[in-house]
């Protein structure tokens, strides 16, 4: 018998998180990239305009991107994500140059959404769980 003390966590069963589906994984990546881009956009807008509503609007959209990330695990989670994409585009009102960046970021979101749907459709057609869990 070993005299080494066991940690209290050793007796606890490991709770595994359900596998992420392609939609959740790809849109989480997209949200993260968009949040980073928006933070730089907020800094640039503050540097150019020195007007408080503009950087605050950018930061509000960053917060919404982060807050909608847990919803992406739901089948309907892409709908709030789509709503935030509209807000990303609306930031062009504060900084017109942002329109170019918004087109790229929203294009990335559209590509990831379409690719995730394709992956999940292929997994269903193959008789697999679309979320990536082993088939029953």
Round to whole Å and give the CA distance between 69 and 72: 5
Segment 2-49, tens digit of pLDDT: 565 665 666 677 766 666 788 999 999 999 999 999 999 888 888 887
Is residue 63 in some structural domain?
Answer: yes
Is residue 116 in some structural domain?
Answer: yes
Show the domain range for 81. 36-123
Predicted TM-score (pTM) of the model is: 0.77
Of 127 and 26, the one with more pLDDT: 26
Mean pLDDT within 119-132: 84
**Residue whose pair of structure tokens reads 């966590």 in the numeric block:** 9
Is residue 11 in some structural domain?
Answer: no
Is residue 3 in some structural domain?
Answer: no
Is residue 45 in some structural domain?
Answer: yes
Is residue 94 in some structural domain?
Answer: yes
Round to whole Å and give the CA distance between 85 and 27: 11
| Count: domains in the chain | 1
pLDDT at 3 (0 to 100): 61
Tell me if 68 sits within 8 A of 84, measured CB to CB.
yes
* Of 97, 89, 87, the residue nearest 49 (C-alpha): 97
Is residue 16 in some structural domain?
Answer: no
């Amino acid at each position: 018998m070993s005299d080494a003390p066991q940690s209290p966590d050793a007796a606890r069963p490991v709770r595994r998180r359900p596998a992420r589906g392609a939609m959740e994984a790809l849109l989480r990546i997209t949200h993260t990239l968009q949040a980073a881009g928006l933070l730089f956009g907020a800094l640039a807008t503050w540097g150019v305009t020195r007007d408080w509503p503009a950087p605050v609007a950018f930061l509000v959209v960053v917060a919404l991107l982060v807050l909608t990330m847990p919803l992406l695990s739901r089948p309907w989670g892409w709908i709030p994500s789509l709503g935030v994409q509209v807000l990303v585009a609306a930031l062009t009102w504060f900084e017109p140059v942002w329109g170019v960046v918004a087109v790229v970021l929203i294009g990335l979101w559209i590509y990831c959404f379409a690719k995730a749907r394709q992956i999940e459709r292929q997994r269903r057609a193959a008789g697999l769980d679309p979320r990536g869990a082993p088939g029953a």
